[in-house]
Amino acid sequence: MATSGFFSAMASAALRGAGTLLRQSRSAPAKPPKPPKAPAPSTTAAPPKKAAHGSDGALDAIVYAPHRDGDADPGEVVWAWIPYEEDHAQGKDRPAIAIGYDGPLLVVVPLTSKDQDGREDTFALGTGPWDPAGRPSWVKLDRLIGVQPGAVRREGAALDRARFDQVVARIKTIHGAQLRLTQ
């Protein structure tokens, strides 16, 4: 008897959860479609030096499309495993700004809370809700990293459009018009 009561309670909980999900999916705003994948590279061309996991190494699109839906979207500060500059086999979970796509990869630029004043390859982002301690953050402009969207741990916050545009403009001054992944 106790077993059937347990299963009955579990089934009721599952049905309540499904109803909640159905209500949420009806009320959630639609996300804009992800940019199309770039055409496959020519078989005669040598692959880019740092191409990664189905990407061609060149950014397909820089877009500003944050949505507070639990998925990583360009324009958001997200948390992901970022490889160390000196050893790509090692890294740590850190905040990064999602700026666009390279095929199936989400392209991010890492943040740091270590003071970077005076460095040309960083941008002073300031403070925001991605850091509960309220520390100022800098964007490491020299690193464009492709990550699998499923590997992103969580959303930290959406950047306002003005700061996102400033970051992208500074990235283009460092990398030029043809942005390519650095890792």
Note the pLDDT tens digit of each residue in 27-42: 444 444 444 433 333 2
Average pLDDT over residues 43-53: 32
Prediction pTM value = 0.67
CA distance 35 to 75: 14
3-class secondary structure per residue, 33-101: CCCCCCCCCCCCCCCCCCCCCCCCCECCEECCCCCCCCCCCCCEEEEEEEECCCCCCCEEEEEEEEEEE
Residues 98 and 65: beta-carbon distance below 8 Å: no
Q: If DSSP codes are grouped into helix, strand and coil, which group holds residue 158? A: strand
* H or E stretch at 140: strand 137-140
CA-CA-CA-CA torsion sign (135, 122, 163, 130): negative
Q: Is the pLDDT score of 110 beyond 90?
A: yes
Q: Which residues pair with 111 in a beta bridge?
A: 139
Tell me the two tokens of residue 89: 């086999």
Q: Is the pLDDT score of 24 beyond 60?
A: no
Extract long-range pairs of 82-87: CB within 8 Å, 24+ residues apart: 82/108, 82/110, 82/145, 83/145, 83/183, 85/143
Q: 61-175: what fold?
A: SH3 type barrels. (2.30.30)
Q: How many residues does the chain have?
A: 183
CA-based max dimension of the chain:
71
Tell me the two tokens of residue 162: 């003005």
Q: Is the pLDDT score of 2 beyond 80?
A: no
Domain spans of the chain?
1-30, 61-175
Q: Is the pLDDT score of 48 beyond 80?
A: no
Q: Is the pLDDT score of 161 beyond 70?
A: yes
* H or E stretch at 126: strand 122-126
